[in-house]
Amino acid sequence: MKNILRTFVSIAALGTPFSLCAETSSRIVETPLELTFLTGNSNYEFDETWPVEQAAREMTGIHLVLFGANSDDAPKSKSLKNMLEDDTVPDIVGARNLKPFVNEYGPVGAFMGMNELIEKHAPNLNALLKERPEIRSAIQAANGEIYYIPYLPDGKFGRGYFIRQDWLDGLGLKAPENVAELKQVLIAFRDRDPNGNGEQDEIPFFARNWQEMLRLLTLWDGRSTGSDNRHDFYVENGVLKHPYSGENYKEGIRNLSEWYAEGLIDPEIFSRGSKARDQLLSENLGGVTHDWFPSTSLYNTSLKDKIPGFKFSALLPPESVSGRRVAEHRRAQVKPDGWAIGYKNEHPIETIKYFDFWFSEEGRRLSNFGVEGQQYEVVDGQAVFHDDVIHGSEAVNAQLWAVGAQIPVRGYYQDYQYELQWSNDIALEGVNLYDQGDYLLDEYLGVALNEIEQSIFDRYWPRIQSHMLSKQKAWITGKSDVEKDWLEYVETLEIYGFSKVMNMMNSAYKRQYEQG
Ligand code: CA
């Protein structure tokens, strides 16, 4: 396929005539202009009748039409790779996880580089990228060009610790401030029957994603990941590292295996699955977890009649053995989702202006809150949701998806205000608690690998990661002993190419983030 792609002619930013309409600042073309659009994911099937899409048409004059919709035989959506193989590239492609795809096939000509287009024709995007250069570094390909406009989430905290405050109160305990106190609280939850049924049936620490247990590694100054992805690299003092190597990791795993053996961690942590939170909270069994603020807080409402006194409160990250408090999970600052310009697009200037529209005040509101007068009103300069949206029978985000807002196959800039308006008080209290200190860690925003680097990664990393995860599970569950295995583990990673990958990743990282 790459041979085919190399024959693509990259069409530079060819100007096409257009005129600005004087009445509204968002108008891009006077005569409506149709641009073909393809989404690579079915989760957010593009719908031209979405009210948000209709409003965008009116404001900008740009009409996105589903690629292939005008011919009888063309399928409505195709895989992105098929699209390249068939050389049927639409004007605009939008998809979840688009970044690796466009950063691989953009440089060989399948998508347009946007650096110059943004500089000349996209004032909102240009200002944003100047203000937050790390976003530019994160999205650009190995050759320094930008090939996609991302979905940028907003807000800081994602997941945090939650604890049964009513259990603490019942046992006369205070919220644990450090790792030693946390262990004592978990022991008390295990031994002292806080649910009061006369049985030792409590599960002190649980998680509906077992990987959230690995957040506890930070209590021994280890890490579980450096990004929004599991088991990812992390950045420390400008150097890229991997969490599953080094002494702090070994120490953390040794302690987790002890906690597991002592029944402080759910014995079914690896198998209970995504219903763990529902099950263990509604059966009055679970004590502490690590999970999303908004959805975890909601149990205080849904269980208040079933479990008298139920109070599941956010807990500050306990201090580690060296006295550090860290919140390892944060909302990603930039997603690999978004949209790109196909190489055959004959209206690149109008297209970049259209992309830029979604980063203007008007476009950002439209993509976040829906249509003014339908989902929200502007009050004192702020978009405020209608009551029937806030208190609707469906979740607010589901209502917004249904009208075409908050759709990440569109490159857009989320506004945290949209979520604040429907978060409950306990979620907000939790987020405020975490916001009082400087607990967040630097986020690893990813690197774009060139062809050689990618081949090194693909050759070595899958085997390394698979070995890391299988040893990790064996150690935590006590099937193997981390102290005894450690030297052999380090040697095996070396034989599998760990240093080769880390050196390559660090040179790619430096190229991407330390230029200029
Ligand atoms: Ca009990």
Q: 């005539």: which residue's tokens?
A: 17
Residue 270 CA to ligand 1 center (angstroms) comes to: 22
Residue 165 CA to ligand 1 center (angstroms) comes to: 16
> For residue 82, which of 67, 63, 60, 71 has the smallest C-alpha distance?
67
Express each pLDDT in 210-221 by its tens digit.
999 999 999 999
Three-state DSSP class for residue 70: coil
Residue range 483-506: mean pLDDT, rounded? 98
Residue range 365-393: mean pLDDT, rounded? 94
Express each pLDDT in 154-206 by its tens digit.
988 889 999 999 999 999 999 999 999 999 999 999 999 999 999 999 999 99
Rounded Cα distance, 150 and 516, in Å: 22
Residue 269 CA to ligand 1 center (angstroms) comes to: 19
Residue 216 CA to ligand 1 center (angstroms) comes to: 24
| Residue 430: pLDDT over 60 | yes
| Residue 116: pLDDT over 50 | yes
Residue 173 CA to ligand 1 center (angstroms) comes to: 17
Q: 């029978």: which residue's tokens?
A: 393
| The pLDDT value given to residue 4 | 41
Rounded Cα distance, 360 and 123, in Å: 9
- Do β-strands 62-66 and 33-39 pair in parallel, antiparallel, or remain unpaired? parallel
Residue 201 CA to ligand 1 center (angstroms) comes to: 5
Residue 199 CA to ligand 1 center (angstroms) comes to: 4
- Residue, of 77 and 423, whose pLDDT is higher: 423
Residue range 231-257: mean pLDDT, rounded? 97
Phi, psi of 426 (to 5 degrees): -70, -35
Rounded Cα distance, 11 and 380, in Å: 45
Residue 220 CA to ligand 1 center (angstroms) comes to: 29
Residue 426 CA to ligand 1 center (angstroms) comes to: 26
Query: In the chain, what percentage of residues exceed pLDDT 70?
Result: 92
Residue 289 CA to ligand 1 center (angstroms) comes to: 18
| Sign of torsion over alpha carbons 277, 280, 283, 288 | negative
Residue 89 CA to ligand 1 center (angstroms) comes to: 61
Express each pLDDT in 318-334 by its tens digit.
999 999 999 999 999 99
* Integer-rounded Cα radius of gyration of the chain: 25
Residue 170 CA to ligand 1 center (angstroms) comes to: 13
Six token digits for residue 242:
């991997």
- Do β-strands 234-236 and 239-241 pair in parallel, antiparallel, or remain unpaired? antiparallel
| The pLDDT value given to residue 38 | 87
Residue 306 CA to ligand 1 center (angstroms) comes to: 16
Residue 176 CA to ligand 1 center (angstroms) comes to: 21
| The pLDDT value given to residue 391 | 87
Residue 184 CA to ligand 1 center (angstroms) comes to: 17
Please report which confidence band the pLDDT of residue 44 belongs to, taking 50, 70 and 90 as the band edges.
low
Express each pLDDT in 334-354 by its tens digit.
999 999 999 999 999 999 999
Phi, psi of 333 (to 5 degrees): -85, -25
Rounded Cα distance, 180 and 185, in Å: 9
Six token digits for residue 86:
């068939």
Residue 192 CA to ligand 1 center (angstroms) comes to: 8
| Residue 24: pLDDT over 60 | no
| The pLDDT value given to residue 393 | 84
Q: Residue 345 in contact with residue 14, Cβ under 8 Å?
A: no
Residue 218 CA to ligand 1 center (angstroms) comes to: 29
> For residue 92, which of 136, 83, 449 has the smallest C-alpha distance?
83
Residue 281 CA to ligand 1 center (angstroms) comes to: 13
Residue 298 CA to ligand 1 center (angstroms) comes to: 23
Residue 430 CA to ligand 1 center (angstroms) comes to: 27
Residue 164 CA to ligand 1 center (angstroms) comes to: 13
How far is residue 417 CA from its own chain's centroid?
A: 18
- Could you tell me where the beta strands, DSSP code E, fall in 13-134? 33-39, 62-66, 92-95
Rounded Cα distance, 317 and 327, in Å: 6
| The pLDDT value given to residue 515 | 61
- Could you tell me where the beta strands, DSSP code E, fall in 21-61? 33-39
Residue range 360-375: mean pLDDT, rounded? 97
Q: Give the CB-side neighbour count of residue 110, counting CA atoms within 13 A.
A: 26
Rounded Cα distance, 174 and 171, in Å: 9
Phi, psi of 236 (to 5 degrees): -135, 120
Residue 191 CA to ligand 1 center (angstroms) comes to: 8
Rounded Cα distance, 382 and 216, in Å: 39
Express each pLDDT in 280-315 by its tens digit.
999 999 999 999 998 899 899 999 999 999 999 999
| The pLDDT value given to residue 45 | 75
Rounded Cα distance, 156 and 301, in Å: 24
Six token digits for residue 267:
């014995």
Residue 205 CA to ligand 1 center (angstroms) comes to: 14
Give the C-alpha distances (Å, rounded to integers) separating 8 from 100, 109, 110. 19, 5, 7
Q: Which residues are in the CB-under-5-Å shell of ion ligand 1?
A: 193, 195, 197, 199, 201
| The pLDDT value given to residue 76 | 46
pTM above 0.75, yes or no: yes
Rounded Cα distance, 33 and 29, in Å: 7
Residue 198 CA to ligand 1 center (angstroms) comes to: 5
Q: Residue 109 in contact with residue 343, Cβ under 8 Å?
A: yes
> For residue 215, which of 177, 162, 275, 137 has the smallest C-alpha distance?
162
| Residue 2: pLDDT over 70 | no
> For residue 339, which of 51, 66, 137, 40 has the smallest C-alpha distance?
40
Please report which confidence band the pLDDT of residue 88 belongs to, taking 50, 70 and 90 as the band edges.
confident
pLDDT averaged over every residue in the chain: 91
Residue 194 CA to ligand 1 center (angstroms) comes to: 6
Side by side, the strands of the sheet bearing 312-315 are: 203-205, 286-292, 159-164, 312-315
Express each pLDDT in 63-85 by its tens digit.
999 886 555 444 445 577 778 88
Residue 453 CA to ligand 1 center (angstroms) comes to: 54
Express each pLDDT in 452-492 by its tens digit.
999 999 999 999 999 999 999 999 999 999 999 999 999 99
* Beta-carbon contacts of residue 497 (< 8 Å; ≥ 6 apart): 456, 459, 460, 461, 463, 464
Residue 202 CA to ligand 1 center (angstroms) comes to: 5
Six token digits for residue 34:
């149709």
Residue 189 CA to ligand 1 center (angstroms) comes to: 9
| Residue 41: pLDDT over 70 | no
Question: Dihedral, CA atoms, 61, 66, 71, 74, nearest 10 degrees?
Answer: 160
| The pLDDT value given to residue 227 | 93
Residue 110 CA to ligand 1 center (angstroms) comes to: 61
Residue 288 CA to ligand 1 center (angstroms) comes to: 15
Residue 148 CA to ligand 1 center (angstroms) comes to: 53
Residue 197 CA to ligand 1 center (angstroms) comes to: 5
Residue 253 CA to ligand 1 center (angstroms) comes to: 28
Three-state DSSP class for residue 304: coil
Residue 200 CA to ligand 1 center (angstroms) comes to: 5
| Residue 20: pLDDT over 90 | no
Rounded Cα distance, 457 and 500, in Å: 9
